[in-house]
Structure 1
Amino acid sequence: MAVDQENFLHLSRPLGPSALGFSGGSAPLTVNIQPQAVFSILDHAVRRDTADTQSTRVIGALVGVRSEDGTEVEVRSCFAIPHTENEDQVEVDVEYQKNMLALTLRASPRETLLGWYTTSHELNSFSALIQNFFASPETGTYPHPAVHLTINTDPGAAIETKTYISAPVAVNAERAAESCLFMEVPHRLLYGDAERAALETVSSAADEESRTVPVISDIEGLARALETVSTLLERVSEYISEVLDEERDGNHALGQYLMNALSLAPKVDSAAIEHDFNNHIQDVLMVSYLANTIRTQIDLAQRLATASLVGGDKDGEKGKEGEDGGKSDGRTGGGRGGKRGGRGGGRGAGVQREPREPRESAE
Structure 2
Amino acid sequence: MPLGPTSSAINIQANSITEAVHNAPRTPTNITIHPVALFSILDHYLRRTDSQDRVIGTLLGTRHDNEVEVRSSFAVLHSETDEQVAVDMDYHRTMYELHHKVNPKEVIVGWYSTGSNLNTYSALIQNFYSQETGPHQAIHVAVNTGVVEGEEAGVKAYISSPVGVFPKPENCVFVPVPVELRFHDAERSGLDLLANTAQASSSTSSQPIADLEIIERAVTSVSEMLDRVLAYVRAVLAGEQKGDPAVGRYLMDTLGASTDDLEKGGFNSSLQDTLMISYLANLVRSQAEVSSRLALAAAS
TM-score, normalising length: structure 2:
0.72
Match among 60, 63, 66 for residue 66 of structure 1: 63
**Deviation (angstroms), 1:167:** 1.2
**Deviation (angstroms), 1:28:** 4.2
**Deviation (angstroms), 1:250:** 2.0
Counting aligned pairs with the same residue, the percent is: 43
**Deviation (angstroms), 1:121:** 1.9
The aligned counterpart of 1:169 is: 163
1:38 maps to 2:32: no
**Deviation (angstroms), 1:165:** 1.1
| Counterpart contact for 2:58–2:76, Cα < 8 Å | yes
The aligned counterpart of 1:116 is: 111
CA distance in 2 between partners of 1:240 and 1:186 (Å): 32
Match among 235, 248, 251 for residue 242 of structure 1: 235
CA distance in 2 between partners of 1:35 and 1:194 (Å): 12
The aligned counterpart of 2:199 is: 207
Displaced runs of 4 or more, over 4 A: 155-159, 264-269
Matched residue SS, 2:133? coil
Matched residue SS, 1:212? coil
Matched residue SS, 2:70? strand
**Deviation (angstroms), 1:114:** 0.3
**Deviation (angstroms), 1:79:** 0.6
Give 5+ residue unaligned stretches, structure 1.
1-26, 277-363
TM-aligned CA distance change 1:133 to 1:103, over 3 Å: same
1:187 maps to 2:204: no
TM-aligned CA distance change 1:257 to 1:89, over 3 Å: same
CA distance in 1 between partners of 2:258 and 2:162 (Å): 49
| Counterpart contact for 1:30–1:73, Cα < 8 Å | yes
The aligned counterpart of 1:101 is: 96
Which structure has the bigger radius of gyration? 1
TM-aligned CA distance change 1:82 to 1:72, over 3 Å: same
| Counterpart contact for 1:169–1:179, Cα < 8 Å | yes
Matched residue SS, 1:66? strand
Deviation per residue, 1:47-87 (Å, 9 max, x gap): 1122xxx33111000011112x3x11211111100111233
Q: How does 1:244-263 map to 2 (within 5 A)?
A: 244-263=237-256
Q: How does 1:197-346 map to 2 (within 5 A)?
A: 197-208=189-200, 209-263=202-256
**Deviation (angstroms), 1:124:** 1.5
CA distance in 1 between partners of 2:99 and 2:135 (Å): 21
TM-aligned CA distance change 1:57 to 1:232, over 3 Å: same
Q: Which stretch of the first structure deviates more once superposed, 87-96 or 177-186?
A: 87-96
The aligned counterpart of 2:126 is: 131
Matched residue SS, 2:86? strand
Give, as a single letter, the amino acid of the residue that structure 2 aligns with 1:196: R
TM-aligned CA distance change 1:90 to 1:184, over 3 Å: same
1:178 maps to 2:199: no
TM-aligned CA distance change 1:146 to 1:210, over 3 Å: same
The Cα RMSD (Å) is: 2.5
| Counterpart contact for 1:171–1:179, Cα < 8 Å | no
Give, as a single letter, the amino acid of the residue that structure 2 aligns with 1:110: K
**Deviation (angstroms), 1:45:** 0.8
| Counterpart contact for 2:146–2:154, Cα < 8 Å | no
**Deviation (angstroms), 1:37:** 0.7
**Deviation (angstroms), 1:264:** 6.1
Matched residue SS, 2:233? helix
**Deviation (angstroms), 1:122:** 1.9
Deviation per residue, 1:14-50 (Å, 9 max, x gap): xxxxxxxxxxxxx842212111111111111111122
Matched residue SS, 2:87? strand
Give, as a single letter, the amino acid of the residue that structure 2 aligns with 1:40: S
Give, as a single letter, the amino acid of the residue that structure 1 aligns with 2:191: L
| Counterpart contact for 2:109–2:138, Cα < 8 Å | yes
Give 5+ residue unaligned stretches, structure 2.
1-26, 271-300
| Counterpart contact for 2:56–2:75, Cα < 8 Å | yes
TM-aligned CA distance change 1:36 to 1:212, over 3 Å: same
